[in-house]
Amino acid sequence: MIHNMEGRDQVFVTRKILERSDVDAGQNRFFVPKSEVLWGVLSEEEKREVEGRGGVEVMVLDPRGGKYTMRLKKWVSLNKVVLNSGWRKLVEDNGLKAEVDCVELWSFRADSKLCFALNAKRDGSLVINL
């Protein structure tokens, strides 16, 4: 999928077993663990925007090839980086479950725009491979 978008600069960001709060309908956000890896792929301008109120608009590819527009932002009060504003739709469309699904998050660039690809594994088996 990344190749089809002429994506480049792929970086493995993190792997995480989804928590209840990651799939809760009222939360609509994914905490990005190990955000220091993510911080390393951001431009200086993107870092400022992520730390600002609005965050950065990003495209997220799901395991089935669906595309979701989300915001990457830092919640200063918790000192955590999150993907939101579209995360809940991705969870619903892919039937992701807390404490069952493990997701891998990859960053890449398409036309210099920051994008992410999400792999999902259930019970140790890869659901769909990028």
**What are the extents of the domains in the chain?**
3-128
pTM assigned to the model: 0.86
Q: How confident is the model at residue 77 (pLDDT cuts 50, 70, 90)?
A: confident
Beta-bridge partner residues of 74:
81
Pairwise CA distance, residues 121 & 59, whole Å: 21
**Closest to 74 in 3D by CA, of 24, 32, 26:** 32
User: Does residue 62 carry a pLDDT above 80?
Assistant: yes
- According to CATH, the topology of domain 3-128 is At1g16640 B3 domain (2.40.330)
